[in-house]
Amino acid sequence: MNMIRVATSVAITAGLISLLAAPRPARADSATHSARQAPTATSSTAQRNHEAATAGEDDFAGLDLTAEQKAEFAKIREGTEAKKALVAKDTKLSSDAKDAFMLGYTRQEYGAMFKVLTPLQQKVVRKKMADRRAADQAAHAKPAPAKRPPS
């Protein structure tokens, strides 16, 4: 059963990678078109992804980190920034694909940073995350429509 899940996951991942890596048809005016193209407004999805990514930074704020933890965090951030720089320079990717890669790298970064923390620090970060999510849900919750009294 587990082998089937692993095989399915690998097949799906390989399919997605092949779709992203597939060459796109070139247009004769593609070089001049891209130079003249006006910057596009970021989509609401990209904005939400960016907000979610930057919210995670606050979860690590205020922790009393050791020198070793700070060094490990710096190493993790450096590796992530290198990956993000490669994605930013990639001209084959659409802006949505770039946003997805950036968000994925940010999530990987936070996951790696979380593993560096002590169990007590992890508990504090989990509490901050839960509080932030509860506040986000409360801010986005729609109030129930007022019921009219029967006439």
The pLDDT of residue 32 is 44
The pLDDT of residue 54 is 54
The pLDDT of residue 109 is 94
Q: Which long-range contacts (CB under 8 A, 24 or more apart) does 59-65 make?
A: 59/110, 59/125, 59/128, 59/129, 59/132, 60/110, 60/113, 60/125, 63/117, 63/121, 63/124, 63/125, 65/121
The pLDDT of residue 12 is 64
The pLDDT of residue 98 is 93
Indicate yes or no: pTM above 0.85. Answer: no
User: Domains of the chain: which residue ranges?
Assistant: 67-139
The pLDDT of residue 23 is 57
Flag residues of the chain having pLDDT under 50: 26-42
